[in-house]
Structure 1
Amino acid sequence: MKFRELTTLDLSEEQWKQPIPVGPAEELRHGHLENGMRYFVRHCNKPKNRAALALAVNIGSVVEDEEEQGLAHVIEHLAFNATENFSNHDIVEFLESIGAEFGACQNAYTSADETVFELVVPTDDDSSLSTAMSVFSEFATKIRCSADDLQRERGAVMEEWRLGKDSRGRTGEAQWKLIMKGCKYADRMPIGQEKVIQHASAQTVKSFYERWYRPENMAIVATGDFEADKVVEIIKQQLSGATAASRDPTPPIPTYNIAAHDQPRYSAFIDKENQQPSVNVTWKHPAKRVATPAEYLDVLKDNMFNATMNNRLFKVSRQHEPPFYTAQISAEPLCRTTACYGASAFVSDSGYLQGLEALLTELARARLHGFSEREVEVALALEMSEVESMYAERDQIYAEDMRGEYVRHFLTEEAVVGREEEVRLNKTLLPMVKPEHLQAIADRFKSCCSCVVKAVSHHRVVSEELLAEVIARVDQAEAEGSITPWEEGDVPASLLEDEPEPGKTLSEKEVPVLGGTELTLSNGMKVYFKSTDFLEDQELGTFGLRPEIIMDILMGKRVDIHTNNGAYWRSLGGEQSPMDLEFAFQLIYRLFTTQIEPREDDLVTCMSCLRDNIAARVRNPLTSFSERVRFINYGHCYYFEPPTLPELDHIDAAAACRHFSEAFQNPAEFRLCFTGNLQEVDIRQLIETYLASIPEASHPAPRQPSSVTALPFSFPEGVVRENVMANMVMPRTQSLITFPVEISKPGTMEALQETHWLAFACQLLETKLLQLMRFKFGEVYTVAISPFFGAEAPSRQGSLRGDVSIGFSCDPHNAEHLTELALSELERLQAEGPTDEEIRTILTLEARAHETSILENSFWHDMAVTSYQSRLFHKEGDVDKVFSLRQDAREAVREAVTPETMQEALCRLFPNPCRIRYTAITLLPQTPLLAQGLAAIGSLLPSSQRSWSYWATLGAVAAAGAAAVVLSSRARKRA
């Protein structure tokens, strides 16, 4: 049944205010185990042969006592460290052995109100699910809290604590405390207190765990490609016997409400490392559950209000001399008892008050004059397009997304009814939203509604008194009615004034192995398209109109097209719904057929924004580090040098616009790839109408990749070790060890295989270093191995040069030791090789990742794009052959990987021994002058004569120097 044929719901008055039963009834298995633990089990198809599991614990940091601040999070870490039946992170190693990679597939998070453990495991082996549930049984009631276990985990938790103490973290913490002032939530940040993390006793941790980790406070969620009834039986077998360690009665979970206040609170927050001046206003309201149709309708009203206001704010940002660069309205839960409505704007360094006044004035304008019918219709169209997309993909929801829905249902009673029923609910309720409903929502944004106003800057430019004056001025203007109605501009009916004259397809070629079709158009442009059914509403794939006009025309359409100008390639790409594909083609047509002619005021705003960004970059402590890394590793190559303020003064904006227009003018230079839910007849018509009709350019023939001028970069010979000192608000340390890598004979099967050998080598090295640095010594939060070949030109001659870096953060005193540890481990692997078990693990991780990736549009899209860009394609000229060779190379390497061959690869790919050529750059905090003076005075005394105050001073300086920042090629949540 099509979306438009889907019937709406006929809700009775009684049903309107009754909680919607959790469902869908025919698919969901849910209930209580004998011990009080709840369970939710449901089958879904994506990803194939995978299950997403969660143990949700309705306990977070807000229940901690004063001496327990941070223990909810510490216990989350301890779970992966040691339980009754697993020791020294055996759980992590075991789960990785079945393909559940640490970070990506086994993780957890702690918030103020809950702790949730998450796993993604394969289901093609029945034992994997059973073992995963046994792991959850361990987490639920058998986490070990010994002194040794706790000591091993303190370092990793401290690194995570330090990661949150950068400028953004400090700003966020200050905002949290200001909003939550007067409530226990204000002093219960989930990361906790340093003194508790460092010194809490094992008995204190154990007491917290036994007091709160009770089966009746927990739920198991399992979603995935399995038989639901069989999984229910596994849950009952593994978890019904889980009993709390303490025999004391389960204490009730306390509720902490936040008191309302009718007078605004103000803060002019200064952080000298702040890189983005901003103003933020929040309004607190009691949190509402979303369990009934009436409550669901309120959420839809909020969404439409936000969309309509954000549309207005975007247009304000595009005005002549705009009051802010960007601004937005949002609504989100702060905690279990409080919801937050927020308005924020990024401003210039001199635009705090102007930005705040403009932000508040637009909200007052909405209260006074409301919204037009057209604005509401546009917001409705936007919401309805999302609903239609949801319906198109109703049978393709990912297990992890479904898991999240049932976790939220357990924790907050969020309604879960299944996609089709949710679509019918949306289709029923959305047309009920009227302009007066949105106008009423604006009343929640008044200064008397628990309002908190905050300006964030890097130096003193605004005061709390000035912020209060802006509030008073806008309130007075609203009371006097002097704020005029919103003025709507004219919106063109379409992106194109005239339908272009269609071009022709000169030739076509089937690409059977990659599974697509390749067309050559009459203007020289080449198009590849592949139809898939992985996601029914996804298709992967500056435009002559002002952005605000394009936004108006495309409101309610799922279209995103962006451009990129890199070192060697110009590209355009994006995602769009198949039903809106024509709009994407129209944007591409406009891109190639219009010249950029910016208005003077647009250029002024753009240059101002660039100046602010460049100036802000200097305030970042990592700037000097990253610039020094690039300088050393790439031989002062101009491409890696960031722009400076003096260089900005010499920019010819008109020439830059001409360059961009010329870059996207000759269609013959481009090959477009489309992947997704495509109807062949429709896309062929769109291609000829909007792509083949792009006029041929008078430029010379397209350049070949082999003729591109290479960037002048080179990796240093020998060894370079250097410390970069930087002044910081909170000291932080970052280390990066980099090795040169060179792959010979590019464009051959041998080179293709080498890239896979390198991938396996990086996976092995990252796994081993994580085991050592985090799990054995507890001195880092994470380690990342990152290969990079982006500096090399796409030439068919010469070797492919790149590098592999090892990045980690740590206590400043451990930087040298951990650098040596990383070098020694790579040195050991080169000399001794890995074990059979380590090889089995990396092969399993790679295989499991490949199994899921080949079911994604993004895999096939990236495979097509990178195959066309490869040296091998420009040698062979057959993308199908390139794809086949790449797959053959992967299989050949997988079959060849053994401890011995991996040892050979490590010696072949990295400098051998690794210590003969590398760079090791470490960011360290600059010692304050006062501390330098104290150290100098102290050094004149014999050590036996140095006073207690001397050692206390140096100890304090050392403690203040403990900080970290992560440099990671992968996103990792807490675990």
Structure 2
Amino acid sequence: MKKILYIVLLTSIMASCDSQKKAVEKKIKEVEKVVKEEVKSPEIPIDPSVKIGKLSNGITYYIKNNGKPADKVELRLAINAGSILEDNDQLGVAHFMEHMNFNGTKNFKKNELINYLQSIGVKFGADLNAYTGFDQTVYILPIPSDDEAKLDKGFQIIRDWAGNALLEEKDIDEERGVVLEEYRSRRGADSRMMEKYLPKMMFGSKYADRLPIGTEESIKNFSYESIRRFQKDWYRPDLMAVIAVGDVDVAQLENKIKKYFSDVPVSKNPRERKSFSIKNHKETFVAIEADKETPFARVQLMYKDREDATPTKTVLDYRNSIVQSLFTQMINNRLDELRNAENPPFVFGFSYHGGTYARNREAYQSQATTSADGQLKGLNALLEESERVKRFGFKKGELDRAKKNVMARLEKSYKNRDKNESGRIVGAYVSNFLDERPIPGVAWRFDMNKKILPSITLEEVNNVIQDYIYDDNRVIIITGPKKVVTEAQVLNALEAVKTKELKPYEDKEVAASLITNEPSMGKITGFSENKELSTKTFTLENGAKVTYKKTDFKNDEILFTAYSYGGTSLYTDEELKATSFANGALTDAGINGYTISDMSKMMSGKIANARPYIGGISEGFNGSASPKDLEILFQQVHLYFTALNKDEKAFKSSINKNKSFLGNLLASPNFFFQKEMSDFMNADNPRYTGFPSVEKYDAADYDLAYKKYKERFADAGDFNFYFVGNIDERKLARLAMKYIASLPGKNSNENYKVSDFRPIKGSHTKVVNKGKDPKSNVRIIYQGETEYDKKEALAFKSLGEIIGIKLTEKLREQEGGVYSSRTRGNISKMPYGRYNFSISFPCAPENVEKLKNIAVKEIENVVKNGPTDEDLSKTKKAQILDHKESVKRNRYWLNLIKNIDYMKNDASDTMNFEERVNALTKADIQKVAKKYLTDGYILGILNPEK
């Protein structure tokens, strides 16, 4: 086809008059160049650091040596089979198979697998996990690699997952309850509406009726034969890949794969692994669905491609993907400006061209979250912005900024390429196997983008949308708490936008720098060093303190935080209530005369962000920056102290978005339950501001909130600033002297005030009836005031993890009554010493009392007898394993060095953490259980409406 077009084009050109000879020759060369590039475009290479192979039975494997974190390997078993392959009698069994692989295999009988992994510090759910989709099933296993026996066990586990599930009838029947609870937990307004619109979205395809969770009837009643047939048909080597990434030699990992997977038998007469697509349709499908329990109103537009997508294989394919990504970034920048307008048409809005539920079919998609009655307004805004691009295209400035952003993100990835954790790498290889996504490595991407981006023209990006929008294969989905839009209005909007008078986008020039008046340079007046923590602190002449720790965990990362005591604790009760729902909108006004849209443009190609906050007992900042852009972060901090804009329109925009987002929130049973429990536990709190409401947002006092903000950030002298990462110490000192030492310092040295109010404790019950789905939620809370003790705090945290292990065993595995439960124990010292122990789980209404009693009985058992040696050991190993990885992250150290000052923590605690954990005894756990969990509990229950 390309050759024919080439000949036709050449013939047309050569027929031109002689006066155009030079133009013709030039055009011929251009065409020849394009054709050669298209025909001979090289394939995208595979990252040479990844070893890919295939066993004789057809299993593909990917291996990469990666030393971060140390002594750990991320294992994955990817299966190119999911719910789309289910027969009519197998609805949900693809997902059920995933469950059964944790409930009895050849080498791990029921519950032995989870028990073993917990014994070596691997947590069920948080670490050990799996997921099932329409077209794939993926098993996830991180395993310690510092012990050959543990590594072998890891490979034995994923080998068993590859076809050794026992699928015993008793185990299947017991697991039905767990899967039904997972199904129950997903039920709600959104799932009910999705079931109605999915046949239009996925017209003419199996995707419309093969949701991975299945149906309630099928989960209860599928035959043993049907799940065994699914395993036999689809858990086979030619559809499998084993991925191993971690701190082990490649040759050793390859030997393990060959040892454990070479014996997976090849299927005789295998079923065809078909690919499924969706049908094209000339008409526009409109689905308008309403459910009074949905918390949000949404608009979705889909222009489905007419043909199936092909994998990105060649450099030309890759170049096309870059063009599309630039388009996506640029249109979303415009949509962001719309959402920040005085009267925004939506709360959130975005557009992109990408995948649908159907593996091989993509679509141009736009989505918006709107107010409950603002769906038509949101739809029109999405349509108009796409039409504006179609008619007038983008501006050169928009493209230039988009290119800068692409390169900035890639440069950051490139600089950190040897510092990535294995868990962040392994997913790319899973996607390569399942979806044929390229894996050339970040170095290739960085280099190729440097070459490609300059050649991409504005015309190319402007033409992208011409292939996206057409009148067939369209689907518009409107969902919300009520039907306020008609199909006729939707169809009229689609037609009206074609002829509507629109103006080209105005791309206003912005300044090159946030700073308009350079601050004067201040001085460093003091210096100290903590050699144990490898931190340094200098005091500035205004009293501010800057503490930093230079690390090599990431090459292109500096994390930042700051605090000063006070916060809203220094507000009167009246001031607190008047400003509570205004504070979050303050920074939407921008700084130094620049709007947040201006700031976004100015930040193109730069990575730096400082975010101020006013909390309950402190105010401060959080942020991060690339080392090369650290000065911009300092500029932002300086200006948030001195030049926060006051803009009524920007404030109104933020309040309007919050009110729209709030909309129907309390119609959701879960949100309503949260509100009712919070109200119940704070009934006598004079400073309780409660759940947001339209009335509270309308009453928010912008003037007072702005005034109080200026008060809280008037004195930089009582702030502490913290930086962790790849720090140039001289540069940090210079920037601190220029942008922080130059700030006002009043030596106020404020502290926070502690309210006299204390939440309820002891025995109380709150029952809430909300929602029509047959599902309940249970909360058990022990709380009260105490004197903080760090040994008790560690024991209490460990108690939470021990009870969590027991509840997984009892409520999930034995009773089949929950899909998951959450348990947490915490003792905090600020703003006063207090403890909180909570258990929560969803379940069937008829099981509430039984499961609640089981949970309480487990607590009573620890109070009476203490934990088992086995459970305490599991908890210790999990904590030590987590800590071992955490100490290699900048975020851990940032929080640590801040809290040494903020919470008056002991600096040596982190150095002897493993020793402190190992020193915990059963008596320590039993002691805190007796002390804190014997004085009654607060019981909260959400039941469906009667």
Calculate the TM-score normalised by the size of structure 1: 0.87
**Distance between the aligned counterparts of 2:196 and 2:518, measured in 1?**
55
Please give the residue correspondences for 1:721-870 in structure 2 after superposition, counting only pairs within 5 Å. 721-726=765-770, 728-740=771-783, 742-744=785-787, 746=788, 751-787=789-825, 793-794=830-831, 800-870=833-903
* Farther-moved stretch of structure 1 (156-165 vs 402-411): 156-165
* Correspondence 1:199 to 2:221: yes
Corresponding position of 1:562: 611
Q: What's the secondary structure of 1:884's corresponding residue? A: coil
Corresponding position of 2:83: 61
Corresponding position of 1:190: 212
**Distance between the aligned counterparts of 1:230 and 1:892, measured in 2?**
32
* Correspondence 1:210 to 2:248: no
Q: 1:457 to 1:224 in 2, by over 3 A?
A: same
| 1:75 to partner: Cα distance | 0.2
Is the 1:635–1:716 Cα contact (8 Å) retained in structure 2?
no
Corresponding position of 2:448: 425
Is the 1:350–1:461 Cα contact (8 Å) retained in structure 2?
yes
2:916 to 868, 872, 893: 893
* Correspondence 1:628 to 2:676: yes
Is the 1:112–1:188 Cα contact (8 Å) retained in structure 2?
yes
* Correspondence 1:650 to 2:699: yes
Q: Deviations over 1:560-607 (max 9, x none)?
A: 2222222112121022211111111111111001244113x3343333
Corresponding position of 1:518: 537
| 1:848 to partner: Cα distance | 0.8
**Distance between the aligned counterparts of 1:63 and 1:49, measured in 2?**
38
Q: What's the secondary structure of 2:102's corresponding residue? A: helix
**Distance between the aligned counterparts of 1:318 and 1:623, measured in 2?**
26
2:285 to 238, 241, 265: 265
Q: Deviations over 1:544-570 (max 9, x none)?
A: 321111111012222222222221121
Corresponding position of 2:402: 379
Please give the residue correspondences for 1:561-580 in structure 2 after superposition, counting only pairs within 5 Å. 561-580=610-629
**Distance between the aligned counterparts of 2:52 and 2:656, measured in 1?**
57
* Correspondence 1:340 to 2:359: no
Q: 1:690 to 1:119 in 2, by over 3 A?
A: same
**Distance between the aligned counterparts of 2:716 and 2:515, measured in 1?**
19
* Correspondence 1:704 to 2:742: no
Q: Deviations over 1:884-905 (max 9, x none)?
A: 14544x3453232233443333
Q: 1:175 to 1:422 in 2, by over 3 A?
A: farther
Please give the residue correspondences for 1:490-509 in structure 2 after superposition, counting only pairs within 5 Å. 490-509=509-528
Corresponding position of 1:685: 734
Q: Deviations over 1:308-357 (max 9, x none)?
A: 11111112223343323332112332232112321122223333222211
Corresponding position of 1:597: 646
Q: What's the secondary structure of 2:89's corresponding residue? A: helix
Q: Match of 2:811, as an amino acid?
A: M
Q: Match of 1:713, as an amino acid?
A: R
Corresponding position of 2:475: 452
Q: What's the secondary structure of 1:311's corresponding residue? A: helix
Q: Deviations over 1:48-95 (max 9, x none)?
A: 111111000000110111221111000001101111222222111111
Corresponding position of 2:99: 77
Corresponding position of 1:472: 495
**Distance between the aligned counterparts of 1:175 and 1:534, measured in 2?**
47
| 1:857 to partner: Cα distance | 0.5
**Distance between the aligned counterparts of 1:444 and 1:856, measured in 2?**
44
| 1:807 to partner: Cα distance | 0.6
Q: Match of 1:837, as an amino acid?
A: E
**Distance between the aligned counterparts of 2:211 and 2:608, measured in 1?**
39
Corresponding position of 1:488: 507
Q: 1:20 to 1:885 in 2, by over 3 A?
A: closer
Q: What's the secondary structure of 2:162's corresponding residue? A: helix
Q: Match of 1:127, as an amino acid?
A: A
* Correspondence 1:119 to 2:111: no
Q: Match of 2:781, as an amino acid?
A: T
Q: CA RMSD in A?
A: 2.2
Is the 2:143–2:154 Cα contact (8 Å) retained in structure 1?
yes
**Distance between the aligned counterparts of 1:515 and 1:161, measured in 2?**
50
**Distance between the aligned counterparts of 2:107 and 2:642, measured in 1?**
67
2:710 to 661, 666, 669: 661
Is the 1:46–1:397 Cα contact (8 Å) retained in structure 2?
yes
Q: Match of 2:749, as an amino acid?
A: P
Q: Match of 1:471, as an amino acid?
A: L
Which aligned runs of 4 or more in structure 1 are off by greater than 6 angstroms?
A: none
| 1:98 to partner: Cα distance | 1.6
* Correspondence 1:151 to 2:173: yes
Q: Deviations over 1:288-323 (max 9, x none)?
A: 312221221222112111111111111222334332
Corresponding position of 1:960: none
Q: Match of 1:714, as an amino acid?
A: P
Q: Match of 1:28, as an amino acid?
A: V
| 1:227 to partner: Cα distance | 0.7
| 1:13 to partner: Cα distance | 4.0
Q: Deviations over 1:481-534 (max 9, x none)?
A: x43221112312210112211111111111222221112112222111111110
**Distance between the aligned counterparts of 1:12 and 1:837, measured in 2?**
67
Q: Match of 1:864, as an amino acid?
A: I
**Distance between the aligned counterparts of 2:348 and 2:114, measured in 1?**
43
Q: 1:320 to 1:141 in 2, by over 3 A?
A: closer
Corresponding position of 1:713: 758
**Distance between the aligned counterparts of 1:650 and 1:450, measured in 2?**
46
Q: What's the secondary structure of 2:907's corresponding residue? A: helix
Q: 1:572 to 1:887 in 2, by over 3 A?
A: same
| 1:779 to partner: Cα distance | 1.1
**Distance between the aligned counterparts of 2:711 and 2:677, measured in 1?**
34
**Distance between the aligned counterparts of 2:36 and 2:837, measured in 1?**
63
**Distance between the aligned counterparts of 1:629 and 1:279, measured in 2?**
32
Q: Deviations over 1:908-954 (max 9, x none)?
A: 3x333xxx411111100011xxxxxxxxxxxxxxxxxxxxxxxxxxx
Q: Unmatched 5+ residue regions in structure 1?
A: 1-10, 873-881, 928-975
Is the 2:46–2:439 Cα contact (8 Å) retained in structure 1?
yes
**Distance between the aligned counterparts of 1:765 and 1:510, measured in 2?**
41
| 1:793 to partner: Cα distance | 4.4
| 1:419 to partner: Cα distance | 2.6
Q: 1:170 to 1:294 in 2, by over 3 A?
A: farther
Please give the residue correspondences for 1:889-928 in structure 2 after superposition, counting only pairs within 5 Å. 890-908=913-931, 910-912=932-934, 916-927=935-946
Is the 2:775–2:944 Cα contact (8 Å) retained in structure 1?
yes
Corresponding position of 1:875: none
| 1:184 to partner: Cα distance | 0.9
Is the 2:611–2:623 Cα contact (8 Å) retained in structure 1?
yes
* Correspondence 1:314 to 2:372: no
| 1:202 to partner: Cα distance | 1.4
Q: 1:17 to 1:233 in 2, by over 3 A?
A: same
1:671 to 717, 720, 728: 720
**Distance between the aligned counterparts of 2:749 and 2:148, measured in 1?**
55
Q: Match of 2:375, as an amino acid?
A: Y
